[in-house]
Each structure stands twice: as C-alpha cells, then as structure tokens.
Amino acid sequence: MTRTIDVALFCFFLFSLGAMSQPSQNLTDCNQLPDTYQSNRNTVLSTLRNRSSLGSYYFNATAGLSPNTVYGMFLCIGNISKTSCSNCVHSATLGMDKSCDSHDTSFMFSDECMVRYSDVSFFSLVEDAPTSSSYYRNDSLNSPHFFNKTLPGKIDKLVFRASSSSSSPVPYFVEDQEHVTQLEGSYDLEAMAQCSPDLDPSNCTVCLGLVVEKFSECCSQSRWARIYFPKCLLRYDISALQPNLTSFGVTTKGDDIFGRTFIAIMIGLLMGL
C-alpha cells in the first residue's frame, strides 16, 4: 500500500552533490525523534555507504526494533560506474545526516542515484509519491506530432524489456540507442528504464506504467526527460534531430525544380500528341 506524503509536513530544499550534473531533491519529515531512532538511522546510513563502496547498485538495510525501526535503501542508475554510484550514495547519506537530525523520513533524488530512509517499511511496494521529473520541451518544431508516431512505442518496448530483465547483471535495468526514421524526420534516441530490485516483475511493470503515464502527461513532446518514482525511473534523450521539411508543408528548392521540370515534360508530351 502506498504511503501518502503530507506535503504540509515536509520541508523541501536543494543541495549540490559534488560533481553531479544536477541538484538533488530531498524530502524530509521534521518531527522530533528519540535518541534510539537517531542511532538506528545513523546505522542504516552508514550501512548504505559501506555497501555502495563494495560495488552494489542497490541495497536495503534495516536497524532497530519497533517503534524505532529504520528502513533504508539506495538505487543507482544502471549505466554509471561503481565509483560514481558509491560517490553519489556517500554524498546523499552524508547530506541527510547533516541536514537535520530529527527527520523520521528522508528521500533524495539525483541524476545518478536515489537514497531514502523511513520509519515505515517500503520494501517490495509500488509507490506513486514522491516523484521528480525534469524535461526540455522542443517548441521550435513546426509539427506538434513529431515524436508521437515512434517515441511512445519505443518507450513501451523499453518498459517490457526492463520488467523482463530481473536476472541481468544490473536487475531491471535496460538501455537502448537507436537512430529513428519516420515520416516527420529522423533523430537519435538514447533511452533507459529501471526498477528497484525489491519489486517482482509484475510490480516493476506496474511501476513503470505509472512513469509512462506521467511521461504522456508532461514530456511526450520533449527533447529529453528524466522521470523518477520511488521504485522506478525512465530517462531518454533525443539528438541529431532532422525534421523532414516537406512533411511540414515546406517545399524545398530541389522539389520545386523537380516539380517544374515534371510539368514542362508533361506539357511537351501532350502538345506532341
């Protein structure tokens, strides 16, 4: 069951993670906590740092007895190096540790990893909040349907492959690079999808379905997008964009010359009959 996050109880702030290309977002519930919980939280954060140093892309940890149990996890993007993963987890956990020692819930999204801890178990659950999305719309295109015929189909295939890859070296992670050609033009598409390994294949599909729904609402006309849910993510980047100007109702000079030549030939043939 998804845990609802009361925005009124959460403080938002941004902080930079060293060499990371984008700032992270940290969500924290500011309640006064007993010393026992803080000690368990510190144990979980330390455990996550240690496991990331061993080359893991995912790990979850639990410390303490109820009502002071702390649950934590990290998930790194599947195509970064193990060193980058470890650096991201270290920066995130140290940031959580320093930001405020009275939080019973904290969640951090960044460009390379997501890290969290909570006083409520979230393992094996599909969650629809909190989320993070960033994208760049391509309003310069003359046709609002430039990506519509191909991009959604590519995303759907990526989701299916991710849900079917639980036994891959980085579970539930797939990426794809392809040059796409369609009526409206062509472009290079780099995309990736990933689920947290604590999900089963069915729940991975459900989670990525939520991401695709978010994608269709915000980002289907964007040159690039990053969409993060607590247990899955989708990213894509479009480059080498080459619109087919003829399909937008623009006649090129070569087409115009060909058209006039064709008409002249037809007139000549008709006059010779």
pLDDT tens per residue, range 199-211: 999 999 999 999 9
Residues 103 and 152 in one domain: no
Name the residue with higher pLDDT: 12 or 105: 105
The pLDDT value recorded for residue 260 is: 44
Residues 177 and 202 in one domain: yes
- pLDDT band at 148, cuts 50/70/90? low
The pLDDT value recorded for residue 10 is: 31
Q: Does 64 have pLDDT greater than 80?
A: yes
Q: Which whole number is the average pLDDT over 246-251? A: 48
Does residue 87 sit within a domain? yes
Task: Count CB atoms within 10 A of the CB of residue 47.
Answer: 17
* pTM for this prediction: 0.76
The pLDDT value recorded for residue 89 is: 97
Rounded CA separation 68/44 (Å) = 12
Residues 91 and 158 in one domain: no
The pLDDT value recorded for residue 146 is: 63
Percent of the chain with pLDDT over 70: 70
Which letter, b or e, does each residue of 254-267 get, where b requires 16 or more Cβ atoms within 10 Å of its Cβ? eeeeeeeeeeeeee
Name the residue with higher pLDDT: 16 or 168: 168
Return the percent helix, strand and coil in the chain, to nearest 5: 35, 30, 35
The pLDDT value recorded for residue 189 is: 87
| Contact partners, residue 166, CB within 8 Å, separation at least 6 | 172, 197, 200, 201, 204
List the domain range (segments joined by +) for residue 67: 35-118
The pLDDT value recorded for residue 219 is: 81
Q: Does 245 have pLDDT greater than 80?
A: no
Residues 113 and 145 in one domain: no
Does residue 57 sit within a domain? yes
Q: How many domains does the chain have?
A: 2
Q: What is the CATH number of the domain that holds 203?
A: 3.30.430.20
